[in-house]
Structure 1
Amino acid sequence: MTHEIRPALTSRLTGADLLRWYWRKDELAEFARQLNIRATGGKELLTARIAAKLDSVPFPEPQSAKKSNGTQLSGPLTVMTVIPQGQRCSQVVRAWFIEQVGAAFSFDAEMRAFFSQSDGTQTMQDALDHYRATRDQGAKPIDPQFEYNRFTRAWHEANPAGLREDLLGDWHKYRRLPLDQRARA
């Protein structure tokens, strides 16, 4: 199998060319600025926006997430505290959770989703119950935009005693390949 070389990010690429390769988010953001398009958003959104620009097709920007009503919890919090719609995963909320469950608490995907979907009727007790119900469920799928994390998990499963240097070497080889030539784990 011949190994292709990843092309440079230039306006001569097509959207399909862009989508065949691994790009870091900082590379994509810089390229978007060169193309005079928005350089914000997650890696998947940024990639889709650039691919549309390269192919000279319109890109419908996604609608913003629901807006906060401006009210944010400021404490002191209790289990009866109602969570306002649009509540952020703030330091006040984090501190309350640490008091309840200990220093190991963090806002993982499950908890961020709970707060982002809050409609103003849930309480901190509901949030605490959700936190406890979503623990110890084993390894959760890693979203595609976190490709390095996905690669790392698969690599460690295949190489349990592997060294970090070997992992990084394999990662660099892997990410230099176009997507259609990568072995999927």
Structure 2
Amino acid sequence: MDTAESRRPTLSRDLTGDELKRWYWLKDELIEFARSIGVRTTGSKDTVVDRLAATLDGVHFHEPERKRPSNSTQLSGPLTASTLIPVGQRCSQVVRGWFTDQLDESFSFDATMRAFFANTDGTQTLKDALDHYRKTRGQDSKDIDPQFEYNRFTRAWHESNPDGSRQELVAAWRYYRSLPVDQRGRI
């Protein structure tokens, strides 16, 4: 399916916001394009896309509200189980270090733990976070947020192709991302 309609365009001011959103772009590509046309590059990939789309369409972009105060206090060592988690605490290397001491080196902040930290109100402790971590292990696979499109694709591909090779996965991903969003459901 290599029609003019299915070939990804070049990033340029000639695109409309809708056409920009039809295609898969690497964040690095978007940032380079945004810089070249004087558009802010901070925020998530989705925010950069929305900001670029608004600019291309000549409409005002309403910046998303910050989720955490910019002046929030961040934890630093030494940490204990009774340490209170401040509002706006990031999933930092300091906090990860405390978790690896409690668990093992394989600990990482998954979506469940990032959500826990994002929703703290200043009354939870690191023990509460550790209990939450232990309680949520071994459950069915969790949803993968939309901004992690490659991870979502990989999970779905492996479910459909349990004996598939890495090379086949990469080829399928390249084909998938070469299609406009409105044609991907036909795969």
Amino acid at match of 1:156: H
Aligned pairs for 1:63-74 within 5 A? 63-67=65-69, 70-74=72-76
2:29 is aligned to 27
Q: Which runs of 5+ in 1 are unaligned?
A: none
CA-based RMSD: 1.8
1:91 aligns to what? Answer: 93
The Cα offsets for residues 88-143 of structure 1, whole Å up to 9 and x where unpaired, read as 22333222212222222111122122222222111111111111122112211111
- Using the alignment, how far apart are the partners of 1:71 and 1:150 within structure 2? 33
Equivalent in the alignment of 1:36 = 38
Q: Does 1:77 align with 2:79?
A: yes
The superposition leaves residues 32-81 of structure 1 with CA deviations (integer Å, 9 ceiling, x where unpaired) of: 11221101211111111111111101000112222165533333322222
Partners of 1:47 and 1:96 lie apart in 2 by 36
Give the structure 2 partner of residue 131 of structure 1: 133
- Paired with 1:2 and 1:77, the residues of 2 have a C-alpha distance of 57
Within the candidate set 167, 170, 175, 2:169 is matched to 167
Stretch deviating more after TM superposition (5-14 or 77-86)? 77-86
Relative to structure 1, the CA distance from residue 2 to residue 76 in structure 2 (aligned partners, 3 Å threshold; closer, same or farther) is closer
* 1:32 partner letter: A
- Greater shift, 65-74 or 147-156, is seen at 65-74
Report SS of the residue matched to 1:182. Answer: helix
State the AA in 1 paired with 2:126: M
Aligned to 1:115: 117
Matches of 1:176 and 1:109, distance apart in 2: 27
Label 1:156 to 1:183 Cα distance change in 2 as closer, same or farther (>3 A). same
Give the 5 Å matches for 1:135-146. Answer: 135-146=137-148
**Which amino acid in 1 is paired with 2:169?**
L
Give the distance between the partners of 1:148 and 1:165, measured in 2 at CA.
Answer: 15
Q: Is 2:152 the counterpart of 1:150?
A: yes
Report if the CA contact (8 A) 1:21-1:179 is conserved. Answer: yes
Distance 1:71 1:53 in 2: 35
SS in 1 for 2:30: helix
Q: Provide closer, same or farther for how the CA distance between residues 68 and 78 of structure 1 changes in structure 2, counting only shifts above 3 A.
A: farther
Letter of the 2:111 counterpart: A
Question: Distance between the aligned counterparts of 1:184 and 1:122, measured in 2?
Answer: 46
Please list every run of 5 or more consecutive structure 2 residues that lacks an aligned counterpart in the other structure.
Answer: none
Distance, in Å, in 2 between the alignment partners of 1:22 and 1:39 is 17
Contact 1:94/1:106 (<8 A) preserved: yes
User: Partners in 2 of 1:35 and 1:69 — Cα distance?
Assistant: 30
Change beyond 3 A, Cα 1:122–1:12: same
SS of the aligned residue for 1:183 comes to: helix
Mapped to 2, the partners of 1:10 and 1:172 lie a distance apart of: 22
